[in-house]
Structure 1
Amino acid sequence: MMRLIAIFLLVASSAFAVQPDEILDDPALEQRARDLSQGLRCPVCRNESIDESNAELARELRILLRERLVDGDTDQQAVDFLVARYGEFVLLRPDSSGINVILWYAAPVMLLIALGIGWTVIRRPAAAPDDLSDDEKAELQKILRS
C-alpha cells in the first residue's frame, strides 16, 4: 500500500511539469527561470504556478520566459514582458500598490466593520414592547428582578 502511495505521489508530482527539452544548458540561467516561473500563475490552471502546471499554455510561458532570459533580459524585464502580455493576473502575488491596495485591504476592513456591527447589535439593550398590558409589565418587572 505504501509503495502505491509513493508511486502516486511521484507521478502526480509537479517536478515533471518542466519537460527535459525546456531545461536550459546553463544551470544558473535555468535556476533563475525556475525561480521566476514559480511566481507566475498558469492562466489555465488558476492558483498553480507555470512551474507546476502541465497545461500547454504553461509550457509555452515557460519556454517564452526562458527565451527572454537567454536573450539577456533581467528577471524584472522578463516578468514585466509577461505581465504586459497577459496582465497582472499572471502574478501569483500581485503588487500591493495603486488600485490593488483596495483588493489587499478590503477584506480586513470589511471584517472589522462586520465585527463592529455585530458587537453593537449584541451590546444594545433589548427594548421592552410598548403594547404590553399593565399586568404583563408588572410580571415582566418581577421576572427581571429575580
Structure 2
Amino acid sequence: MRGLLALLLAAMAMPLVAQGNAPPAPYAYRQLDDPAQEAAAQELMETLRCLKCQSQSIADSDAPMAGDMRHQVRIRIAAGEKPEDIRSWLMQRYGDYVSYAPVVSARTWPLYALPVVFLLIVGAILWRRFRRRA
C-alpha cells in the first residue's frame, strides 16, 4: 500500500518537475531585430502586470511567467499585431488585472461610479447641515 502511495505521489509531482526545467521562451530575454518593433513591445510590456510578482511589470520581472508573456508580446508585435489587440488578448486570457490601464466594462463600472455617488451623498449631507445653521 505504501509503495502504491509513493508511486502515486511521484506521478503527481512529475509535471511540477518538468515545468521547472523547461527552457525560457525564445523571446523572453532576446529583443526583436527591428528597433521600432522592440520599442513598441517594450512600451506595451511596461503596462502589463506580472501575475506572479503582482507589483512589477512583465518588462521588469524575472518570473518565468513574465518571460512567457514577454515572448508572446514580442512574437505578436513581430507578426504585425497592434499593441491594443495584444493587450485585449492578454486581458481575455488572464483577466483585467493583467493591465495597468483599467478598462470600464460591465463588471468594473461600479468602481468608477461609487466614489462619485459617495461624494454626492456627503455633499448633500454637508449642504443640509450648513443650511440649517444659517
Residue of structure 1 equivalent to 2:99: 91
The structure where strand makes up a greater share of residues is 1
Question: Contact 2:58 / 2:70 at 8 angstroms: preserved in 1?
Answer: yes
Distance 1:52 1:105, change over 3 A: farther
Quote the RMSD (CA, aligned, Å). 2.6
TM-score by length of 2: 0.63
- Give the C-alpha shift of residue 123 in structure 1: 6.5
The runs of 5 or more residues in structure 1 that have no matched partner are: 1-18, 126-146
CA distance in 2, matches of 1:39, 1:96: 17
Question: Contact 1:69 / 1:75 at 8 angstroms: preserved in 2?
Answer: yes
Query: Would you say 1:21 and 2:32 are equivalent positions?
Result: no
| Identity across the alignment (%) | 35
Q: Which has the higher contact order (CA 8 A, sep 6+)?
A: 2
The runs of 5 or more residues in structure 2 that have no matched partner are: 1-26
Question: Contact 1:68 / 1:78 at 8 angstroms: preserved in 2?
Answer: yes
CA distance in 1, matches of 2:46, 2:29: 18
Query: Would you say 1:67 and 2:75 are equivalent positions?
Result: yes
Give secondary structure in 1 for the equivalent of 2:60. Answer: coil
Question: Contact 1:40 / 1:91 at 8 angstroms: preserved in 2?
Answer: yes
Find the structure with the greater CA-based Rg.
Answer: 1
| Match 1:34 to one of 42, 62, 65 | 42
Larger deviation, residues 95-104 vs 112-121: 112-121
Q: Residues 37-67 of structure 1: CA distance to partner in whole angstroms, max 9, x if unpaired?
A: 1221221232432222232222221111111
| Match 1:82 to one of 82, 90, 100 | 90
Q: Across the two proteins, how many residue pairs are aligned to each other? A: 107
Return structure 1 stretches of 4+ with deviation > 3 angstroms.
Answer: 114-125
Look up the equivalent residue of 1:60 and give its one-letter code: D
Query: Would you say 1:113 and 2:113 are equivalent positions?
Result: no
- Give the C-alpha shift of residue 105 in structure 1: 2.3
- Give the C-alpha shift of residue 124 in structure 1: 5.8
Look up the equivalent residue of 2:50 and give its one-letter code: C
Question: Contact 1:47 / 1:92 at 8 angstroms: preserved in 2?
Answer: no
